[in-house]
Amino acid sequence: MILFNNFKAHYQQYKDILDKAYARVAESGWYVLGKEVESFEKELAAYIGTKYCVGVASGTDAIQLSLKAYGIGCGDEVITTNMTAFPTITAIMQTGATPVVVDIDPLSGLLDASEIEKKINANTKAIVPVHLYGQSCDLEAIMAIADKHQLVVVEDCAQAIGATYKGKRCGSIGHTGSFSFYPTKNLGALGDGGAISTNDEAVYNKLLMLRNYGQSVRYYHTEEGINSRLDELQAAFLREKLTLLEGWSERRYEIAKYYRENIKTGTFIEERAYGKPVYHLFVIRHEQRNALLDHLNANGVQALIHYPVPIAHQDAFKGQKEEAFAHTELFANQVLSIPIYPELPQAEMETVVTVINSFNG
Ligand SMILES: Cc1ncc(COP(=O)(O)O)c(C=O)c1O
């Protein structure tokens, strides 16, 4: 079976440095909010190109706490895309705010910025653009709308660490950027983790409290916070992996190029000229997607669908049940993700292409 991801192979390749990082933390006797987290936050901020970074427990919390840091909660509306991983919505709902979705651009699958203003009303407080599959949204267009209506922009960079928009990294353009280190992500921990990037010093200071029960000074609680901390072990692993990330992104890009040049059926997600994607996922579109998925599985290639159900059709999403989102609906019926990760062997990459090209749909 050609796996969609291979975490054991990844660990074996980087066993030495990861084991040393583990020993460093285990022997230090300090496991939560210490030197590793502080160093990782500085290193990640430098990589993203922001003044500050705050480690948190997950990508979901990174979005939730970003919104809370700007005072967003009950009675507020937050605009995002109808095609994303559900945690984008979970995070908005956790603040008490109401998520409002817009349709996607049919070629890139990204939130269609020209749909945003139709949804803005007096309750709208923020936009959460999702850099889906590792490609940046059109941030200039989104920031212009946000400026005009005084909205906060929380970039959901869970799938897009390292991706650029006009030479700047995702997460450095909005008010905050939120990152996930869930193991499947391009920078994956050996467990859960997340981070928030920002240039806003006041928000940075607030986030330090919000992630730690709202505590300002030990035993003094200033904000209504939660427990959402990145632990020292994960920070130590992530520090090591961050030094390798650029090489991994390049490898993902090469694999994507090979797929684009050699796959002869279906169509690809359009690459936007304004930036460089990091190919968290490689997604093809096909009119006979379900048959192609069966064909891949029958021939030993693991493939997945990101995402089969638009947000507006999810039971846990209570709004916009009557609204039609033509582009998202077609997209959800046609997309298929095939294996892409830095350690994917050349021979497996070639087999994936051969199997897809042998589909007689
Ligand atoms: C687009 C998007 N947003 C948010 C998240 C949430 O991240 P986490 O699983 O770390 O909470 C994910 C990942 O699952 C994601 O893909």
> How far apart are the CA of 56 and the centre of ligand 1, in A?
13
pLDDT in tens, 201-214: 999 999 999 999 99
Question: Which residue out of 60, 110, 281 has the highest number of ligand 1 atoms within 8 Å of its CB and is therefore the one to mutate?
Answer: 60
User: How high is the pLDDT of residue 360?
Assistant: 86
* Pick from 130, 127, 126: nearest CA to 109: 130
pLDDT in tens, 107-137: 999 999 999 999 999 999 999 999 999 999 9
* Pick from 132, 144, 140, 85: nearest CA to 106: 132
* Pick from 232, 194, 238, 199: nearest CA to 65: 194
What is the C-alpha to C-alpha distance for residues 169 and 136, in angstroms, rounded to an integer? Answer: 9
pLDDT in tens, 141-165: 999 999 999 999 999 999 999 999 9
The CB of 182 under 6 Å from ligand 1? The reply is yes
User: How high is the pLDDT of residue 255?
Assistant: 98
The CB of 193 under 6 Å from ligand 1? The reply is no
pLDDT in tens, 258-267: 999 999 999 9
> How far apart are the CA of 65 and the centre of ligand 1, in A?
14
Question: Which residue out of 83, 135, 159, 180 has the highest number of ligand 1 atoms within 8 Å of its CB and is therefore the one to mutate?
Answer: 180
The CB of 266 under 6 Å from ligand 1? The reply is no
Q: Which residue has the tokens 């579109």?
A: 285
Whether 361 shows a pLDDT value over 80: the answer reads no
H-helix or E-strand spanning residue 48: helix 35-48
Residues in CB range of 168: below 8 A, 6 or more apart: 49
The 10 Å CB-count burial string (b at 16+, else e) for 265-299 is ebeebeebebbbbbbbbbbbbbeebeebbebbeeb
pLDDT in tens, 16-58: 999 999 999 999 999 999 999 999 999 999 999 999 999 999 9
H-helix or E-strand spanning residue 285: strand 282-285
The CB of 194 under 6 Å from ligand 1? The reply is yes
User: How high is the pLDDT of residue 130?
Assistant: 99
The CB of 85 under 6 Å from ligand 1? The reply is yes
> How far apart are the CA of 89 and the centre of ligand 1, in A?
10
pLDDT in tens, 274-287: 999 999 999 999 99
Whether 171 shows a pLDDT value over 80: the answer reads yes
Using alpha carbons, list the distances in angstroms from residue 186 to 13, 249, 253. Answer: 16, 8, 12
The CB of 59 under 6 Å from ligand 1? The reply is yes
Q: From the alpha carbon of 280, which atom of ligand 1 is closest? A: 16
Q: From the alpha carbon of 132, which atom of ligand 1 is closest? A: 1
DSSP 8-state code for residue 132: G
Q: From the alpha carbon of 84, which atom of ligand 1 is closest? A: 1
User: How high is the pLDDT of residue 182?
Assistant: 98
The CB of 310 under 6 Å from ligand 1? The reply is no
Query: With bands split at pLDDT 50, 70 and 90, how would you rate the model's confidence at 199?
Result: very high
Mean pLDDT for the chain overall: 98
The 10 Å CB-count burial string (b at 16+, else e) for 201-237 is eebbebbbbbbbeebeeeeeeebebbebbbbbbbbbb
The CB of 158 under 6 Å from ligand 1? The reply is yes
- Tell whether omega for the bond before 165 is within 30 degrees of 0, i.e. cis: no
| Residue 21 backbone dihedrals phi, psi, to 5 degrees | -65, -40
